[in-house]
Amino acid sequence: MPGKQHEVTFRFLAQPTDVNFGGKVHGGMAMKWIDQAGYACAVGWSGAYCVTASVSGIQFVAPILIGDLVTVRARLIHTGTSSMHMAVEVLARDLRKDEQRLATSCVMVFVALDSPDGKPTPVPHWEPRDDGERRLQAQARKLLELSKGMEQLIDLQALPSD
């Protein structure tokens, strides 16, 4: 049911096939997990097919090792007309210890479409419920303004020189 699922959490063990020669999870694998969790959250909120529009501020903070319990959490933090901003974090924990660490985080934007090859379609409006969610929404709005500025900068750089 659209407008009900504003958070998705995946949990699994990091596998040998997820890591590089140094025994740490590939950044690309973490990005795949992030995209999957963000997509699941976007579809759960919108009830529509969704596409990834952008990934902002991705930070790889700590390594994920083989056998770590990985938690990928995507939370809705802002909605536009057809877009949804998600805060996504990847946490890792050695099962032999009781300390979880932040491994990766970012903000993603998904756009809901009326069909896989279709046009953007409206999504239910989301309102923050507490101060933490209000701070995340404010961060999403700042990132939106920054991304608009970056688009203008890129457009200026594409102009032919004299």
Residue 146, pLDDT above cutoff 80: no
How many domains is the chain built from? 1
Query: SS3 of 45, please?
Result: helix
Residue 150, pLDDT above cutoff 80: no
Task: For residue 51, tell me if it sits in a domain.
Answer: yes
pLDDT of residue 157: 60
Task: For residue 133, tell me if it sits in a domain.
Answer: yes
Backbone φ and ψ of 157, nearest 5°: -70, -20
Task: For residue 69, tell me if it sits in a domain.
Answer: yes
pLDDT of residue 140: 81
| Extended strands (E) in the chain | 7-13, 49-60, 69-79, 83-93, 100-113
pLDDT of residue 158: 59
| CATH code (residue 75) | 3.10.129.10
Say which DSSP state 78 is in.
E
Task: For residue 2, tell me if it sits in a domain.
Answer: no
pLDDT of residue 65: 96
How much of the chain, in percent, has pLDDT values that exceed 70? 90
- Domain of 24 in residue numbering reads as 7-157
Using CA atoms, how far apart are residues 102 and 82, in angstroms rounded to an integer?
30
Query: Counting every residue, how long is the chain?
Result: 162
pLDDT of residue 49: 96
pLDDT tens for 15-68 read 999 999 888 999 999 999 999 999 999 999 999 999 999 998 899 999 999 999
Task: For residue 162, tell me if it sits in a domain.
Answer: no
* Mean predicted confidence (pLDDT) in 60-88: 96
**Residue 144, token pair as written in the block:** 């939106």
pLDDT of residue 11: 98
pLDDT of residue 97: 93
Task: For residue 95, tell me if it sits in a domain.
Answer: yes
Task: For residue 98, tell me if it sits in a domain.
Answer: yes
How much of the chain, in percent, has pLDDT values that exceed 90? 69
